[in-house]
Structure 1
Amino acid sequence: MYKGEVTSLAKRLQENIILRRLVLSEDYFWTSPLAFWEIPNSLKNELAEANLILVKRDANYRRLLCDRYWHSTTNIADIVCYLPAPMVALVVKNRV
């Protein structure tokens, strides 16, 4: 990315944060070793208000799937049915 593109992206992100279209949530759970199905009720209630949950990185992807082997035909929606809102998982590196 070039400086102008980064500046434009930063401005759009900041505007969306101000308008509450993008909400950044700080909670111990995000850095804990707990599986996503162990999400605290307080955080689950907060996420229930979201239109979309964005999960990133390999470790969180593994936490979503409880670090288990799933058959390739298994629908991920069936695995993460405990989440209170639609979810997108961004994985850059995954050896599972």
Structure 2
Amino acid sequence: MILEHAILQIRPGQSASFEAAMEKARPLIARQPGFQSIEVRPESGNPERYLLLVTWDRIESHRDGFHGSEDYQRWRALLHAFYDPMPEITYYGPGIFHD
């Protein structure tokens, strides 16, 4: 299992619109082969910064599968205009502790 991590910095005053767009975009990623779960959490005290966590079966499901799909083009159209700057994606392997 792979955890995709990104910090999403949203343009000022766009948080509510971003959240509505994310709601529309969620089904696009959720139907991808290898997708397991998604979490989007606002930063406490900073409504324009979010933590994105997506769990995949393997990196290739995200990097090669989702990124190469038509659904990703729709995802981009819905969400990428909100980001400033564009987020950096990092991947983490299986955890060593699970509580």
**TM-score, reference length from structure 1:** 0.26
Q: Which has the higher contact order (CA 8 A, sep 6+)?
A: 2
The structure in which a higher percent of residues are strand is 2
Structure whose CA Rg is larger: 1
The structure in which a higher percent of residues are helix is 1
**TM-score, reference length from structure 2:** 0.26
